[in-house]
Amino acid sequence: MAQDLRTRIRRGDLLVGTFVKTPSPHVVEILGHAGLDFAVIDQEHAPIGIAQMDMLVLAGRAAGLPLLSRRWGGAKDWIAPLLDLGLDGVMVPHVLDPDTAEAVCDAVRFSRGKRGLSPSPRAGNYGGMGLAEYRETSDARSIVMLQIEDECALDHLDAIAALSDVDMLFVGPADLSQSMGVAMPSPELDAAIERIIAAGRKAGVAVGLFVGDPAQIAGWHAKGVSLFVCGSDQAMLRKAASRMMADLGG
């Protein structure tokens, strides 16, 4: 039986996925058949609602592709409804401090006693799981990825990474460079990413990174990054179409 994504993250496997910005189940299905390790549905930068998420999760399950959601919002009440659909976890933008990280963990883990409990949704096999089984299964498989993409968060890395329910510190390099007022790429940004890697290594927490080009993966993997979100479905489509036209002299 294939191991779940959270187990693979915590083991430190090299994992490669992409953002999905197009609310089409077919896109998710294709990416699953292409062999990606996971995909993140980008509700932060794309117009994707919860009804569309429902269909994307069905496609992910059909193709064996683990899915997470990234969504903007200071409140964390959006997390549980998405996990009820059967998502494997969440990637939360702009986590600035341990208090924000705690709030995310509260919204994900039943063991913290603050997430509404009902096995009636898809994640509970539509009532096929008992309460205890659903709690245990969900808490064992649900992934908490916290995005570090603000300069002020760098001063709280150890406290954030020390939380036992955090599975990953995920670096958003574009926003981090903007917050720091430096170029992307730049030595200053690289140094900040390496600080995040060091904090993850110290706490035994995996570190992930967005890259726009798969050629960047090997170098950062050698430095300790284990999970990569590479580009997006739309970027892949645009690049392939542009390359085709360029090859034709268009």
Q: Which CATH number fits the domain that encloses residue 158?
A: 3.20.20.60
- pLDDT of the residue at 176: 98
> Residue 201 in 3-state DSSP?
helix
Give the residue numbers spanning the domain of 211.
5-247
Report how far residue 86's alpha carbon sits from residue 248's, in angstroms, rounded to the nearest whole number.
Answer: 43
Report how far residue 99's alpha carbon sits from residue 237's, in angstroms, rounded to the nearest whole number.
Answer: 39
Query: What DSSP designation does 34 have?
Result: T
CA nearest neighbour of 124 among 115, 135, 111: 135
Percent helix, strand and coil across the chain, each to the nearest 5: 50, 15, 30
Report how far residue 87's alpha carbon sits from residue 161's, in angstroms, rounded to the nearest whole number.
Answer: 23
Q: Specify the pTM.
A: 0.96
- pLDDT of the residue at 250: 61
Number of domains in the chain: 1
Report how far residue 147's alpha carbon sits from residue 163's, in angstroms, rounded to the nearest whole number.
Answer: 14
What are the mean pLDDT values of the chain's consecutive 10-residue runs (250 residues total)? Answer: 86 98 98 98 97 98 98 87 97 97 96 96 98 98 98 98 97 98 98 98 98 98 98 98 92
